[in-house]
Amino acid sequence: MTDTTTDAAVSAGDPVTEDGLPTYVADFLNTHDPATMPRIDFLRARFDAGLAWVHYPIGCGGLGLDAAAQSIVDAALEAAGAPDNAPHRNVIGLGMAAPTLLAHGTPEQQRQWLRPLWTGEEIWCQLFSEPAAGSDLASLGTKAVPDGTDWVVNGQKVWTSLAHEASWALLIARTDPTVPKHRGLTYFVCDMRSPGVDVRALRQLTGEAEFNEVFLDNVRVPDDNRLGEVGAGWKVTQSTLMNERVAIGAGAAPREGGPIGFLADLWRQDETYRTIGSFDKLVQLWVEAETMRLTTERLRQQAVAGTPGPEGSGSKLAYSLLAQRVSSLELDILGEQGLRFDDWSFRRPNLDDEHNRPAGYRFLRTKGNSIEGGTSEIMRNIISERILGLPSESRTDTTTPWNELPR
């Protein structure tokens, strides 16, 4: 359980304002020296002081300020040499689980899970997709049956990133098969250490096992781990999915961050790869990447404010296409050298440093961008229906009870 003693101290004093935030951070650093404190103790103290994500409420790692004020905190802590919470290790927890818990969790659930999630002590995964329910997630068949104060869950999930490292999982399961598919779902948090949880690696094109399939065999989930009302799981799921697409397509990055940075560095560092044709393509992609970076700033602000919208689908689609084009040009420029990829032995590349990943890896990995977080085809449907207001396809499966649908 989370120790919120420092948060209690924050709430007992005068509220911290944005104008007073620099002084508040300086006072925190005076009493919490990152050079002498163990890393995890510093991160816990930072969360308890409300400096994890300042736009979250007091008691949840925040101060109730505007999200833009986070840059003040981050800059001061970076200048002091403070450790970060290694966000690349817990992308699902930080980008999807945390906002879902904030929007739909009880105060007790938030106190239990948000702190170790933010510090990285507990990794999260997402038990959504199934072999027969990927793009059409609402057709999923994993069952949750009530048994006393627990639910007994049986089913199979697939494409579960980080399941092999996760302590907790966001789980959507069917609790009423007699109603239409969107209305019979309930949302849970599943302890991945529970008996009956079987995680099996799935090897992918890059040689690593980033994804997994997960089998749930009579897994008991306490009703206290339910998010939202019974049968209202689709509403909670939409909150998670909207944040997921913003996390993938609108992640915070500096100028020339991500794939375009590797391409630009390649051009600058080796004159043998410079041609007029490749330069024209590089400039075009660089402009598109910078335009996208600036445009997605608004999406990030919407997400941290708790109001991610369907625009995240457009950003996710644009990111997928751009990353693939950038990695393709990088491979074209490198020629046969770009085909060298020496990690076919199924060892995981060092994910802590993107610079350890060769161009061949990036080219192969970007192919998955069109699938993860919702396929590009589904993103186009969302854009057409929810943003452009075009008529949706005619469907009958949304009114038929789930147990009467053909399979």
Residue 346 pLDDT: 45
Q: Where residue 296 falls among pLDDT bands split at 50, 70, 90?
A: confident
Contact call for residues 330 and 280 (beta carbons, < 8 A): no
Per-residue pLDDT at 52 exceeds 60: yes
Q: 227 φ, ψ to 5°?
A: -105, 120
Q: CA torsion, points 223, 135, 90, 256, in degrees to nearest 10?
A: -150
Q: Kindly state the percentage of the chain with pLDDT values over 70.
A: 86
Strand positions, DSSP E, 95-242? 124-127, 143-147, 150-157, 168-174, 185-191, 197-202, 211-222, 226-227
Answer whether 383's CB lies under 8 Å from 389's CB.
no
User: For the residues 254-268, what does the mean pLDDT come to?
Assistant: 84
Length of the chain: 407
pLDDT score of 1:
37
Cα distances (angstroms) measured from residue 241 to each of 97, 132, 310: 10, 18, 10
Rounded to the nearest 5°, which phi and psi values hold at 200? Answer: -125, 130
Structural domains of the chain, with CATH? 1-84 (no CATH), 124-232 (2.40.110.10), 237-387 (1.20.140.10)
> What confidence score (pLDDT) does residue 302 get?
59
Q: Quote the mean pLDDT of the chain.
A: 86
- Which is more confidently placed, 272 or 179? 179
Write the pLDDT tens digit of every residue in 30-43. 999 999 999 999 99
Q: For 332-387, write each residue's pLDDT tens digit.
A: 888 888 877 665 444 444 444 566 678 888 888 888 888 877 778 888 887 888 77
Tokens (6 digits) for 290? 């910078």
- Is 324 a residue whose pLDDT tops 90? yes
pLDDT exceeds 50 at position 306: yes
Q: Is the pLDDT of residue 6 over 60?
A: no
What are the two backbone dihedrals, phi and then psi, of residue 321, each rounded to the nearest 5 degrees? -65, -40
**3-class secondary structure, 279:** helix
Is the pLDDT higher at 23 or at 211? 23
- CA 22 to CA 25: how far, in whole Å? 5
- The percentage of the chain sitting over the pLDDT mark of 90, rounded to a whole number, equals 53
- Encode pLDDT of 208-253 as tens digits: 777 899 999 999 999 999 999 999 999 999 888 877 656 554 455 6
C-alpha to C-alpha distance for 407 and 403, rounded to whole angstroms: 10
Tokens for 221?
Answer: 């989930």
Closest CA to 404 of 218, 184, 188, 135: 184
Q: Is 122 assigned a catalytic role? A: no
Give helix then strand counts, H and E, for the chain. Answer: 13, 8
Q: Report which of residues 273 and 306 the model is more confident about.
A: 273
Residues 276-293 have a mean pLDDT of 86
What span, in angstroms and rounded, lies between the C-alpha atoms of 173 and 154?
9
CA 150 to chain centre: 28
Q: Out of 108-117, 140-149, 266-275, 327-336, which region has the weakest mean confidence (pLDDT)?
A: 266-275
Q: Please give the pLDDT value at position 55.
A: 92
pLDDT above 50 (res 3): no
pLDDT for position 27: 97
Q: Is 60 exceeded by the pLDDT of residue 12?
A: no
User: Which residue is catalytic, options 208, 213, 244, 330?
Assistant: 244
Full 3-state SS string of 1-67: CCCCHHHHHHHHCCCCCCCCHHHHHHHHHHHCCCCCCCHHHHHHHHHHCCCCCCCCCCCCCCCCCCH
- The residue with greater pLDDT, 48 or 371, is 48
